[in-house]
């Protein structure tokens, strides 16, 4: 309930609202063109809807808290707040949660946009201007806040200082002084502008290197390699997105299921096993039932006559 906690909550809520608004609009744009909600029936839309692809890419980067976007700023502040309290285990879990969030969001961009373009999507057009326009306005807002995070954080900090005057200034209580572009703590230094410039520079260098390495590559047609291992007519049999998390479920699925559910599943299995054994006796065969009746009368006869 410190000023830093309120800062994280309010700024995080504002940015999360922007991220999710952008992603929901992008998904709506995809549905408006494909009229399909099943991602495994899509694929290759990066060639037909590149503007929407960029929106989804930026959205999942921001939402998962990966530099250089503003989602990383909130996580950086939260990590510092956790470590200042000595909650090292919670800090490690927060880092793990960030990686997991990127994994589940990655499906949103992998399944519809990457892979092979499906036959029924070849005439799909980019989303309409009125759907794209608000998405790119949100992107501009996110980029500005990511480059100059103090635009948002300083204003919220001043508001909190007025609301909680006894708590003092935000950076005194939280030990994280920040300005328009920077924030400093005992664990590190973060500058939103520098992070943005360095990230863009690294991306530009890698893009140039990739283009130079591929300049002599021969372009391969989609059907020259037998659909790249996919079967467009039955995508649920080969499309990676159909069982996207199957390997994770096999490795860690037992952690996801509550103990009570596992217990009742075990009880159900035992009941079914017993019923299966009883079904061997009551199998619908008339001769078998006649044999059961004969044994029943023999048992009653011996019991009434004092046993065997």
Tokens (6 digits) for 142: 């996110």
CB under 8 Å to 15, separation ≥6 — which residues? 62, 70, 71, 74, 142, 145, 152
**Domain hosting residue 288, numbered range:** 257-304
Element of type H or E holding 191: strand 188-191
Same-domain check for residues 225 and 290? no
Q: What is the 3 state secondary structure string of 101-158?
A: HHHHHHHHHHHHHCCCCCHHHCCCCCCCHHHHHHHHHHHHHHHHHHHCCHHHHHHHHH
Same-domain check for residues 214 and 272? no
Query: What pLDDT score was predicted for residue 170?
Result: 46
Query: What pLDDT score was predicted for residue 177?
Result: 59
Same-domain check for residues 19 and 168? yes
Same-domain check for residues 268 and 240? no
Query: What pLDDT score was predicted for residue 65?
Result: 76
Is residue 39 within 8 A of residue 109, CB to CB? The reply is: no
Query: What pLDDT score was predicted for residue 88?
Result: 83
Is residue 61 included in any domain, yes or no? yes
Cis peptide before 68 (omega within 30 of 0): yes
Same-domain check for residues 220 and 292? no
**Secondary structure of residue 281 in the 3-state scheme:** helix
Is residue 250 included in any domain, yes or no? no
Same-domain check for residues 186 and 37? yes
Is residue 249 included in any domain, yes or no? no
**Secondary structure of residue 283 in the 3-state scheme:** coil
Rounded to whole angstroms, the Cα distance separating 11 from 78 reads 11
Q: Domain total for the chain?
A: 2
Same-domain check for residues 81 and 157? yes
Query: What pLDDT score was predicted for residue 169?
Result: 44
For 229-254, the DSSP string reads G--TTSHHHH-TTTTTTHHHHHHHHH
Query: What pLDDT score was predicted for residue 155?
Result: 80
Count how many residues are written for the chain. Answer: 308
Is residue 152 included in any domain, yes or no? yes
**Secondary structure of residue 199 in the 3-state scheme:** helix
Is residue 251 included in any domain, yes or no? no
Q: What pTM was computed for the model? A: 0.65
Same-domain check for residues 114 and 180? yes
Closest CA to 135 of 288, 228, 223, 19: 19
Closest CA to 3 of 151, 169, 180: 169
Q: State how far the alpha carbon of 85 is from the alpha carbons of 74, 79, 98, 131, 245, in Å.
A: 17, 10, 20, 44, 35
Query: What pLDDT score was predicted for residue 28?
Result: 93
Same-domain check for residues 190 and 287? no
pLDDT tens string, the chain, 308 residues long: the values are 666 777 778 888 888 888 888 899 999 999 999 998 888 888 889 989 999 999 999 888 888 777 777 777 777 777 777 777 788 888 888 778 777 777 778 888 888 898 778 888 888 999 999 999 999 999 998 888 888 877 887 788 778 777 766 544 444 445 555 655 666 666 777 777 888 888 889 989 998 998 888 877 776 665 555 555 555 566 656 566 666 776 667 667 677 677 788 888 889 999 998 888 877 777 777 777 788 788 888 888 888 876 55
Mean pLDDT of the chain: 78
Question: Hey, CA dihedral for 151, 153, 159, 161, is it positive or negative?
Answer: negative
Rounded to whole angstroms, the Cα distance separating 182 from 276 reads 69
Query: What pLDDT score was predicted for residue 134?
Result: 92
User: Max Cα separation, the chain?
Assistant: 100
Is residue 179 within 8 A of residue 150, CB to CB? The reply is: yes
Q: Give the rounded distance of the alpha carbon of 29 from its chain centre.
A: 20
DSSP-assigned beta bridge partners for residue 185: 188
Q: State how far the alpha carbon of 52 is from the alpha carbons of 26, 72, 102, in Å.
A: 6, 22, 19
Is residue 58 included in any domain, yes or no? yes
Is residue 130 included in any domain, yes or no? yes
Same-domain check for residues 282 and 219? no
Same-domain check for residues 300 and 231? no
Is residue 140 within 8 A of residue 69, CB to CB? The reply is: no
Burial category of 167 from C-beta neighbours within 10 Å (exposed 0-12, middle 13-18, buried 19 and up): middle
Query: What pLDDT score was predicted for residue 173?
Result: 47
**Secondary structure of residue 212 in the 3-state scheme:** helix
CA dihedral 183, 185, 188, 191 (to 10 degrees): 0
């Amino acid at each position: 309930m410190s000023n830093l906690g309120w800062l994280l909550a309010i700024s995080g809520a504002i940015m999360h609202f922007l991220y999710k608004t952008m992603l929901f609009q992008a998904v709506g744009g995809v549905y408006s063109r494909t009229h399909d909600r099943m991602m495994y029936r899509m694929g290759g839309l990066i060639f037909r809807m590149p503007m929407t692809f960029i929106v989804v890419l930026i959205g999942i980067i921001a939402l998962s808290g990966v530099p250089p976007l503003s989602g990383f700023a909130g996580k950086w502040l939260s990590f510092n707040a956790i470590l200042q309290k000595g909650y090292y285990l919670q800090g490690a879990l927060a880092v793990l949660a960030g990686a997991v969030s990127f994994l589940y969001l990655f499906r949103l961009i992998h399944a519809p946009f990457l892979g092979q373009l499906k036959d029924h999507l070849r005439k799909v057009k980019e989303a309409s201007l009125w759907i794209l326009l608000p998405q790119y306005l949100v992107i501009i807002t996110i980029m500005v806040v990511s480059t100059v995070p103090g635009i948002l954080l300083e204003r919220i900090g001043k508001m909190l200082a007025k609301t909680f005057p006894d708590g003092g200034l935000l950076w005194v209580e939280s030990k994280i002084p920040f300005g328009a572009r920077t924030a400093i703590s005992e664990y590190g230094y973060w500058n939103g502008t520098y992070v943005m410039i360095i990230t863009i520079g690294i991306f530009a260098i890698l893009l140039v290197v990739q283009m130079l390495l591929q300049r002599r590559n021969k372009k391969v047609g989609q059907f020259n390699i037998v659909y790249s291992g996919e079967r467009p007519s039955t995508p649920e049999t080969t499309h990676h997105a159909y069982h996207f998390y199957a390997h994770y479920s096999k490795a860690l699925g037992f952690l996801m299921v509550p103990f009570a559910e596992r217990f009742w599943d075990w009880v159900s299995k035992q009941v079914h096993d017993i019923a299966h054994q009883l079904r061997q006796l009551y199998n619908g065969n008339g001769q078998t039932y006649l044999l059961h009746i004969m044994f029943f009368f023999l048992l009653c006869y011996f019991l009434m006559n004092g046993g065997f």
